[in-house]
Each structure stands twice: as C-alpha cells, then as structure tokens.
Structure 1
Amino acid sequence: MPDPIFADTRLARLYDAFDGSRIDLNAYLAIIHDLGVGTLLDVGCGTGTLALLATAVGVTVTGVDPAAASVEVARSKPRADEVRWHVGTAVDAPTEQVDLATMTGNAAQVFLTDEAWLETLVAIRERLRPGGWFVFETRRPEARAWEQWAEPHEAGQTFPGLGLVVERRTFVRVDLPLVTFGGEYEFPDGSTVPSESTLRFRDDAENRSLLDRAGFVVDELRQAPDRPGLEFVYLCRPR
C-alpha cells in the first residue's frame, strides 16, 4: 500500500511543490546520456518528473507506480501522452525489455522485507535487455538521516485557487533497520490530512547480497552528486 503522500489525491497534487526542484535527477539524466539509453523503465515514477525529463531528450519511457493518485498527476502534465503510464509495481510492468531501469528518490527503501525487495529486483532484471542497466539510490545508514528528520519542521506553500497549505512533521520512530516518520498537511479550510511512511535502511553489504541473489552485478557504486556522503547510487547489470 503506497504512503498517503503519494496515494491520497489531495496530497499527490501538492507533492511536487513540497518536494522541491529535484536537482537530484540531473545525475540520472547524465547517466541516460552516457549510456546511450533509448528505452527506460522508471519504477516508482511517482508524479512523473524523471519520466518526462527523459522523454524530452528523446527516450522512450514507461513509468510505473502503485500510487494511482500520483500517476494521475503525472498524466496531467505537458507531454504526458508521450509516456506509457502504468499503475502497479515492477511485477505489473510491461514485459518489453529496456535499456535502463531506474528507481529514484530512495524508493528502494519502501521495501521493508528482503522478500519484497528481491521480488522487485527479479522483475526489473527480467525487463532489461542483454547489456541493460539498473540504477537506483538508497540512503547510507551511517549518515543517520533520521536524526535530521527528528528536528522540528514546518513549511508552507501557496497554491493557486487553494491557498496556503502547511506541512508539519509530527514524529519520527526509529527501530532499526526500520524508521517511521509522520506528519500532516493543513489546508486553508482548517482540515488536516496525515501521512506516515516507513523506510528500510540497508548497508552496502546487504544491498550487494540481495542484488547478487536477484542476478545482478554491481558495476559501479557512486555518491549522489548533490548529497555527498549521504547516498549509495548503484549502477548494476544483469549477471
């Protein structure tokens, strides 16, 4: 079940504004260019930001995400008709083989059990052509991101025709390797919509072991250029 921030219709429409400029995706566009990618499967595409950026540079893109509300937002954007959108998981994605599969925004951490993550990894591998690539990112546990999340946070955004919406973080619960955090969004009419997320933190050894079990070889391990020391970025190929 996707988190409310992605699956609740009222919140999905606000996600891009609260999520910021997404400069993190520049690294993925560079990888797309460097690898000469012609076809892309964007797993966990959310509101479609990377999918549409890739389409703009001539890549044929399929975006898949289990949150129907987020996919609906993606479908409403300019040039969205150039992307093939699917509501579902990697297991539900079209079986046509692609040059590259991506999973951005630390989406890999939503798989709380090894079994669920392995099922996803195998489904992605099966959708890569010979010589294809899988690139994803995940937070480094030693960076202890949850300590920053525990700090008080409140931010507001004004939306045309709606008014000021305030985002607040209300709690963080750490039970490693799981971290749960929650917040609420207050609308101009005084109503609030809560959202809660749980993420799984895996270290590099765990990630490599699961990738190996799923039939991947790690070709390169990078840092996220905009977040040095905070992320693992894996460039993998089917074994």
Structure 2
Amino acid sequence: MVDDPYRDAELVELYEIDNPGGAGHSYYRALADAIGADSVIDLGCGTGLLTRSLVKPGRTVTGVDPSTTMLDFARRQPGAEAVTWIRGDASAIRPSGTADLAICTGNAIMHVSPDALPAVFDSLARALRPGGTVSFESRNPAYREWEQWTREATYGERAIQAGRLREWLEVTSAEDGRVVFDAHNVFPDGEDRVYTSVLFFRAVEEFTQALGDAGFTDITCFGDWQGAPVEDTCRILVFRAQKS
C-alpha cells in the first residue's frame, strides 16, 4: 500500500480551507450532469469536498486517495456516507468497465511520475465503460508558474487554533518539467513542518499521447474552465477524452 503523503491532521484541515470549491468544481459537476453520469470515480479526491458534492439520487460516487489522513477527514464530513472511499492509488480502482466518468482534480495528476502515468490511464480506462469520459486538469508548463513559488511571493501569516501560523513555498529544483518544492508551515512554537512535493509539468502533446496509448479518443484540451483555447498565458490545461 502507498505511503500517506499528507499525514498531518492539522494541515489537512487547513487544506480543506485553502482549496474551496470554485470554477473547477462547477466544471466537473456540470460535466457529470451533461453526460448523465450514473457512476463517477474521483481519483486523488483529497478531503472529498468535490466528491461529496457530486452525489445525487441514482448516482454512485467513489473517492480514491493515497492519504489515510485525508480520507479520515473526508469521512467525517456531512454527506460522506453516500460516497465509497478507497485508500490507494489508481491501481486500487476496480476494473469494472462500467463507470461513466472518471476525474482527477486539484492538479493531482501532476503528482504522477512519467513512469507511472501510463498505468494510471490504463486503470481509468479499465474502470470506464465504452464511451465513458475521463477529465482532469494540470498546470500549463508554458506559464512557468513555479517561478512564482518563492518565499517573497508566497509568504503569509494567519491565525489558526494553535495560534499564529507562518507559511510559504520554496522551489528547490526545477528541471525538464520536474519541479520539487517545500511547503513551510511554522507553528507558534517555532516548529517548521516542511512538506516536500514533486510535480510533473507536462505539455498538451505529452498528455494526448499517453491518453491515446491507453485507448482514449476524442481528446480535447482547453486553457480554462470555460473552454478557451490553449495559449502560453493560460495557467491550466483542462482535458477531456472518451474511452473507445
């Protein structure tokens, strides 16, 4: 079983606050409704804020995440009992071939290494019915957002239950699309809880190739949640494809 990448319960609670529902959540809910999805899989569901909002009569919703701490938080939230929660990565998804929609939100696909990406798309393809839809978003490498992740640009302070929290991001490595950065969280007692993350920035062509290799067709990519064309100034890439 995979390790828990988010094992600090205090920081997980802050994660829910820092990642509220917005245009992305609205996009995925609208997509599920537009295709009449009766079965939805949310890979990398985190604390399940979007996952829980996808529940409606006649629809089954499954949330999958490698973090026990995230899922423990998700299970305590209102409406959580209507979701099937699975701890694991994409390999934990049942290859039923019956799901209507599989999503991977919050840029979670960026945590997947190049070696692992084909297996992730294969797992999603096996879970979906013929004609089923996969959709996800990723940061646009052309925008070079990681260059803004400096202490000076990201430093902030706020009050939490334990007192005053100081926090910032700091990139330690950026090469060939692989970006490593530290998230600093300095608590009132002076303890700095540093969480290191590795993100993989991929161009449209890389995702398109990987999706095609996994058997997906009708692959589209937009530069925002409203369907704008992709340009270097777009912060995100929003993908959608169908299982052949």
TM-score, scaled to structure 2: 0.88
Distance apart, 1:20 and its partner CA: 4.2
Give the corresponding residue for 1:10: 10
Give the corresponding residue for 2:205: 205
Give the corresponding residue for 1:69: 69
1:155 aligns with 2:156: yes
Counterpart-to-counterpart distance in 2, 1:153 and 1:219: 35
Tell me which amino acid in the other structure corresponds to 1:63: G
Distance apart, 1:185 and its partner CA: 0.9
- CA 1:170–1:57: 2 relative to 1, 3 Å: farther
Distance apart, 1:58 and its partner CA: 5.9
Give the corresponding residue for 1:108: 109
Give the corresponding residue for 1:55: 55
- Unaligned segments of structure 1, at least 5 residues: none
Q: Which moved more, 1:132-141 or 1:50-59?
A: 50-59
1:35-62 C-alpha deviation (Å, 9 max, x unpaired): 1111100000011011111015763200
Contact (CA 8 Å) 1:90, 1:124: kept in 2 or not?
A: yes
Tell me which amino acid in the other structure corresponds to 1:123: S
SS at 2:94's partner residue?
coil
- CA 1:120–1:173: 2 relative to 1, 3 Å: same
Distance apart, 1:152 and its partner CA: 2.7
- CA 1:121–1:231: 2 relative to 1, 3 Å: same
Counterpart-to-counterpart distance in 2, 1:170 and 1:126: 38
- CA 1:58–1:168: 2 relative to 1, 3 Å: farther
TM-score, scaled to structure 1: 0.89
SS at 1:188's partner residue?
coil
Give the corresponding residue for 2:242: 237
SS at 1:46's partner residue?
coil
Contact (CA 8 Å) 1:99, 1:129: kept in 2 or not?
A: yes
Counterpart-to-counterpart distance in 1, 2:174 and 2:218: 29
1:120 aligns with 2:125: no
Tell me which amino acid in the other structure corresponds to 1:8: D
Counterpart-to-counterpart distance in 1, 2:206 and 2:224: 19
Would you say how many aligned residue pairs link Structure 1 and Structure 2? 236
Contact (CA 8 Å) 1:178, 1:198: kept in 2 or not?
A: yes
Tell me which amino acid in the other structure corresponds to 1:186: V
Percent identical: 31
SS at 1:232's partner residue?
strand
Contact (CA 8 Å) 1:27, 1:224: kept in 2 or not?
A: no
Tell me which amino acid in the other structure corresponds to 1:156: E
Q: Which moved more, 1:33-42 or 1:187-196?
A: 187-196
Tell me which amino acid in the other structure corresponds to 1:100: L
Tell me which amino acid in the other structure corresponds to 1:215: G
Tell me which amino acid in the other structure corresponds to 1:112: S
- CA 1:128–1:168: 2 relative to 1, 3 Å: same
Counterpart-to-counterpart distance in 1, 2:23 and 2:72: 23
Distance apart, 1:68 and its partner CA: 1.0
1:200-239 C-alpha deviation (Å, 9 max, x unpaired): 1111111111111111114422222389722111111112
- CA 1:94–1:157: 2 relative to 1, 3 Å: farther
Contact (CA 8 Å) 1:146, 1:172: kept in 2 or not?
A: no
Distance apart, 1:157 and its partner CA: 3.6
- CA 1:148–1:3: 2 relative to 1, 3 Å: farther
Q: Which moved more, 1:17-26 or 1:214-223?
A: 17-26
Tell me which amino acid in the other structure corresponds to 1:85: W
- Unaligned segments of structure 2, at least 5 residues: 229-233
